[in-house]
Amino acid sequence: MYGLTDGGARGRDLIFLDESGFAPTMPTGYTWSRVGQRAVVPKEDTQDRRVNVLGAQVVGTGPDLLWQRTSGKIDAGMLLEFVLVRLAGLGGGAAVLDLAADGIGVDAIPLWERRRPCTIMLDNASAHVARAFKGRRRQLAKIGVDLFYLPPRSPELNDIELIWRKAKYQDYPQRAQTSIDAIGEAVDRAMTRQRDRIRQSATNFTQAA
């Protein structure tokens, strides 16, 4: 797919993974109003109306941005499926991971492996270290997906934090949304703009080189 070269024939992808939440009323750092008029910022009820986003920033020779949103909690099961299907390209997801990693009758059914191995950088959030996900670490490594856990309390080491900030403060201009669907659509627009900038920057760099 994408990636940094690690000296091997196929190279290696580097992927920054994290989650972030978008509320019906997003923080407003500043705004404008006419002289003498007080600015009024709408505020929506936030109860049970949050949209959570699981995102992965791919850097290297083919930068990209992938994401999946949900109105529910992002747990270890959802994380595992996202990694397997969206990042590793294993269509059957967790349901076929045992077979893909270990094989049954190796001569008849070959082991499956990602076309380019990758290293996923992630923090120590509860879903990331849960047994349902981290307990699959050896199997993930067998199919070409290595996990690298960042030190505690070091968000500055995860490049996707910059994506979240830009998506929320640069590409999410309407700060209040009236429904879950409206939040989701606004999130997709913001993330799409971020993805397009990442891809365009890579294209411009390649052309310049």
Joined tokens for residue 36: 């003498």
Tell me the C-alpha distance between 107 and 123, whole Å: 38
Give how many domains the chain has, as a whole number.
1
Q: What is the CATH number of the domain that holds 75?
A: 3.30.420.10
Question: Does the residue 208 lie in any domain?
Answer: no
Tell me the C-alpha distance between 123 and 148, whole Å: 8
CB 84: neighbour CB atoms within 10 A?
25
Residue carrying structure tokens 């007080």 = 38
**Whether the predicted pLDDT of 67 surpasses 90:** yes
Question: Does the residue 138 lie in any domain?
Answer: yes
Percent of the chain whose predicted confidence (pLDDT) is above 90: 60
Give pLDDT, residue 61: 67
Joined tokens for residue 175: 């700060």
Question: Does the residue 78 lie in any domain?
Answer: yes
- What is the span of the domain harbouring residue 170? 13-21+48-203
Joined tokens for residue 118: 């990758």
Give the model confidence (pLDDT) of 130-180 as tens digits. Answer: 999 999 999 999 999 999 999 999 999 999 999 999 999 889 888 889 899
- The whole-number average pLDDT for the span 40-47 is 75
Q: How confident is the model at residue 207 (pLDDT cuts 50, 70, 90)?
A: low
